[in-house]
Structure 1
Amino acid sequence: MLTSRRARAMRAFVRLALGGPLLGAALLIVACASRPAPLEPPAPTIAPYDTVRGEPLWAVVPLRNETGVSFVDSYAISDRVVAAAAQVRGVRALPLNRTIAQMRALGMHALESPDDARRLATELGADAIIVGSITSYDPYKPALGLALALYPTPRGRIEDPRHVDLDPRQLIYQPTEYTYFPEHREPRDEPGSVVSEHLDGENHQVIYDVRGYAQGRQDPEQRVLGWRRYLASMELFTEFAAHHTVAQLIRQEWLRTERMAREDDRRPRR
């Protein structure tokens, strides 16, 4: 009898000894699984303008469809450009519908000259007008080409740059050949900054940029595709492409305003 009791006690002790660590490990796994993934903010795009008098206001004109593809929704892509501009720190962006409504009120089906751009900006109270084109569109790769030109308005708030120290090597600027108003080549009619991007979803650099863009812009609990969903959906890829192109436009604005600041420093003081 005593031997039987000792045997039962020994078996209970062994079960407790073996089961304790297993139970603890199971509880640890459950705790880790239920802990929400940490959130991280996306990398910001920061404009170079002095915002003491308020953030400059941009207006985006509906983009031209120059792809040769008839089913491109140019208004939807233009709206993505507006959304990307609105996310830039130090800039405000008018809703696309406001710009379209003002163009209709002025009898403008499209902008035909830089004077039209300046007139529209004045009526909207904007500090700059962005015009541009959709240059390529392939929803299957996916691939999207965008060209944007920024026209500052006279005495607008984007002509007063923040003075920062830049590497002089970055000031070597190779302008794009893109021209929105090809028949108007006077210096006063030139845009402030121009960018032209072709983003191919099969290009490894583009894939790398997509992954960087997705950081901080997707649900960390999303397990299906993860960041690659931006390559699986043309709508999401368009969102990335608009952000990327606007960010490049901001980069050119940093270079332009820094050149202006350096030229201003070289002028003789009275």
Structure 2
Amino acid sequence: MDRSQETGCNARRQIRSLDERRLIELNCWQDAMTSKQVMLIVAVLLISGCQWLQQGTEPLACPYEQRRVLAITPLVNESGNSSGDGLVLADHLARQLENVPNVDVLPVNRTLEVMDALGLHRVNSYTAAMQISQTLGVDGLIVGSIMGYDPYDPPKIALVIELYSNPSSERPVASLDIRQLRKTASGQSSVSKVSSLSGETGPVNIVSYFFDAADPHVRNALQRYAQGRGVDKIEYGWPRHLTGLSRSHETTVHLHRINMDLFSQFVCQQMSWKLMQAESQRLASRQVVHAGPSP
């Protein structure tokens, strides 16, 4: 966004009508994106439109019968907004998935160390995903992209995350030393070669969603998330001079305008829930296929 566009957007944000201001900010956000990014956002909307959001903060259900170890790479920022921090969002995802029973998540800096040792700046192929997974010795690798990011009120984040399953991770659970995997070596990591693959050439699951705090469905889920965390609407809320809201509106509206860090945590909690739901469906369908037709 050049200086003239930024000046125009800043002037428009002074409009006090909430509905009109939302529309203008959305138009400014769209103007700043390339056609490729617009197409990616449309794809996210089409994929996620029929999905629903988790309400409340109940623990995430585990889809796995045996303990799984996952690693997460920093999310790639494809949004066109430099304030979208893929490393921060990856850390939020890791913390959310650590709450899933039977799931361990390696620190993101450990994954970064291995990527650096392998000379990989991002994961853009199945082979790269397997190199990282097999070097870390994990069961799965989560790779993601930030497709849209707008920190202005009401905030917006669009994410796509992919789960790659490591076919060489079939081993007794007791042989896995999670404490050793969690250590960050002071020197260079040992690099393993990709073992023979068993037919799969892509992610086993992909989930996506466009989170817009102006959407009533997102806003309701966000409100429950904030209340479940005991978030104080004044301490963590968006400053009144940025929202244009009077004090009388804060009770009914301002709670939904929590700061961007908490909104990012909410988004990652929702994406973690969606991924575990998708994994449950995938594994259930595999069991049906393996069981075969009833006699």
Fold similarity call, TM over 0.5: yes
Q: Distance in 1 between matches of 2:279 and 2:229?
A: 25
Cross-structure match for 1:243: 269
Q: 1:203 deviation in Å?
A: 0.4
Q: Distance in 1 between matches of 2:170 and 2:95?
A: 21
How many pairs are equivalent?
A: 197
Are positions 1:75 and 2:101 aligned together? no
Q: Distance in 1 between matches of 2:99 and 2:72?
A: 14
SS in 1 for 2:116: helix
Larger radius of gyration: 1
Cross-structure match for 1:254: 280
Cα distance 1:230–1:88, how it changes in 2: closer, same or farther (>3 A)?
Answer: farther
Q: 1:90 deviation in Å?
A: 2.3
Cα distance 1:98–1:267, how it changes in 2: closer, same or farther (>3 A)?
Answer: farther
Q: 1:231 deviation in Å?
A: 2.7
Q: 1:88 deviation in Å?
A: 1.9
Q: Is the 8 A contact 2:76 2:122 kept in 1?
A: no
Are positions 1:148 and 2:161 aligned together? yes
Q: 1:91 deviation in Å?
A: 1.1
1:15-26 alignment runs, 5 A limit: none
CA RMSD of aligned residues (A): 2.6
Picking from 151, 157, 162, the partner of 1:139 is: 151
The residue identity in structure 2 corresponding to 1:130 is I
Cross-structure match for 1:203: 215
Q: Is the 8 A contact 1:193 1:252 kept in 2?
A: yes
Q: Is the 8 A contact 1:147 1:197 kept in 2?
A: yes
Cross-structure match for 2:62: 47
Q: Distance in 1 between matches of 2:257 and 2:224?
A: 13
Picking from 94, 109, 129, the partner of 2:106 is: 94
Cα distance 1:89–1:216, how it changes in 2: closer, same or farther (>3 A)?
Answer: farther
Cα distance 1:228–1:153, how it changes in 2: closer, same or farther (>3 A)?
Answer: farther
Cα distance 1:205–1:106, how it changes in 2: closer, same or farther (>3 A)?
Answer: same
TM-score, normalised relative to structure 2: 0.61
Q: 1:229 deviation in Å?
A: 4.8
Q: 1:146 deviation in Å?
A: 0.7
Q: Distance in 2 between matches of 1:187 and 1:65?
A: 30
Q: 1:76 deviation in Å?
A: 1.2
Q: Distance in 1 between matches of 2:255 and 2:132?
A: 38
Picking from 117, 121, 130, the partner of 2:133 is: 121
Q: Distance in 2 between matches of 1:223 and 1:205?
A: 19
Are positions 1:217 and 2:229 aligned together? yes
Q: Percent identity?
A: 30
Cα distance 1:75–1:223, how it changes in 2: closer, same or farther (>3 A)?
Answer: closer
Q: Is the 8 A contact 1:102 1:120 kept in 2?
A: yes
Q: Is the 8 A contact 1:114 1:189 kept in 2?
A: yes
Cα distance 1:110–1:258, how it changes in 2: closer, same or farther (>3 A)?
Answer: same
CA displacement 1:208-229 (0-9 Å, x = unmatched): 111232343226xx47469965
Cα distance 1:105–1:155, how it changes in 2: closer, same or farther (>3 A)?
Answer: closer
Q: Distance in 2 between matches of 1:132 and 1:60?
A: 8
Q: Distance in 2 between matches of 1:228 and 1:43?
A: 24
SS in 2 for 1:232: coil
Q: Which runs of 5+ in 1 are unaligned?
A: 1-40, 159-185
Q: Which runs of 5+ in 2 are unaligned?
A: 1-55, 172-197, 238-250
Cross-structure match for 1:58: 70
Q: Is the 8 A contact 2:233 2:255 kept in 1?
A: no
CA displacement 1:94-150 (0-9 Å, x = unmatched): 111000011111221222310111121111111000001001111111111110010
The residue identity in structure 2 corresponding to 1:262 is V
The residue identity in structure 2 corresponding to 1:189 is T
